[in-house]
Amino acid sequence: MKIAVAGSVGRDHLMTFPGKFTDSLVAGSLEKVSLSFLVDGLDVRRGGCAANIAFSMGILGLNPILLAAVGKDWVDYEAWLTRHGVVTSHVWVSETLHTAQFMVTTDTELNQIASFFPGAMSEARNIELGPVMQKTGVFDLVVISPDDPEAMLRHTQTCREERIPFAADPSQQMARMSGDEIKKLIDGATYLFMNEYELALAIQKTGWSDAEILERVETRVITLGSAGAKVERRGNSEVRVGVPKEKAKVDPTGVGDSFRSGFIAGVAWGLNDERCAQLGSMIATYVIETKGTQEYRFTRSEFVSRFAESYGKTAASEIEKHIPMLENA
């Protein structure tokens, strides 16, 4: 299955605050907020939504094609992604701007406050799917993850016009997009990925009801945090899966991206919705156990064993043959 992943590539600046953000919020004074948090640590890691999704798909053997805009400072990052199975030959390299930067602080409750500087990502609007597909062949699926808003809209429109299945993952970009723009990103999606807050925001900004949003996509996947995820299709019963027991809760950054990569891997392997969601949850668990979105490691035997512990031997037997033979990938 030929899969393109469009979206951001960035550097993550991960900080930890040894307390609760909510302890610093004063009821009745939220209209004027001026806060500063003294953090315990700073880790600079590889990140970006598209890069995170592509990395996980790459180590699962899918060789995704990354469509993103980066700066000249990405040479070492490119080598890393290529080494882990990602096709980077169609990435746009800016002549003037640096690769995007993501800054996030996480408290003891895993709440997060983040800022994102787009940098070279603003040039993603220069990427066109047509010329890329002339070289690669037509994509079987395009994942449209958070990116320059104009690029997201352009990729979505191209997919509609060319009848290419696409997975809509508007995520944090909905905060700065209008209701009409969000409608364009969602309408006709083969897969729509959101968390509960993002779904509520989409309902608020588009004016569509929950049912109307579901009616406009083929499959809607809603992540539910520690409660797992649910998969919904028009006219079908809802599928719900729980999350595997994690060894530790280290950092939630990139958990949503990794869930998407696991789910889409299941789609590529022809698995049912339940297995796809379980795969996504398993990959997401590995990510939350590590500092950094692309730092987790597993072997095939370990992955299958943990999958069986969480979802049963039958489920594990169905995914085992698809997991590559990895040595601490």
Question: Pick the catalytic residue: 12, 147, 148, 257?
Answer: 257
Instruction: Using alpha carbons, select from 102, 115, 103, 112 the residue that is nearest to residue 21.
Output: 112
Residue with tokens 């406050």: 113
Residues 258, 104: Cα–Cα separation, whole Å:
17
Residue 327: per-residue pLDDT: 60
How does pLDDT run across 139-156, given as a tens digit for each residue?
A: 999 999 999 999 999 999
pLDDT tens, position by position, 270-303: 999 999 999 999 999 999 999 888 999 999 999 9
For 68-128, the DSSP string reads: -EE-GGGHHHHHHHHHTT-B-TT-EE-SS-PPEEEEEEE-TTS-EEEEEE-GGGGGGGG--
Indicate whether 329 pLDDT > 60: no
Report the candidate in 217, 199, 219 with the shortest Cα–Cα distance to residue 209.
199
pLDDT at 257 over 80: yes
| pLDDT tier, 328 (very low <50, low <70, confident <90, very high otherwise) | low
Question: Any bridge partners for residue 112, and if so which?
Answer: 106
Is 148 one of the annotated active-site residues of the chain?
no
Give the chain's domains with CATH numbers: 1-20+41-138 (3.40.1190.20)
pLDDT tens digits along 42-83? 988 899 999 999 999 999 999 999 999 999 899 999 999 999
pLDDT in tens, 187-217: 999 999 999 999 999 999 999 999 999 999 9
- How confident is the prediction for the chain on average, in pLDDT? 94
Residues 73-126 pLDDT 10s:
999 999 999 999 999 999 999 999 999 998 999 999 989 998 888 999 999 999
**The one-letter amino acid at 255:** V
Q: Is 14 helix (H, G, I), strand (E, B) or coil?
A: strand
Closest listed residue to residue 280, CA positions, set 297, 309, 302, 258: 258
> How far is Cα 261 from Cα 293, in angstroms, rounded to an integer?
12
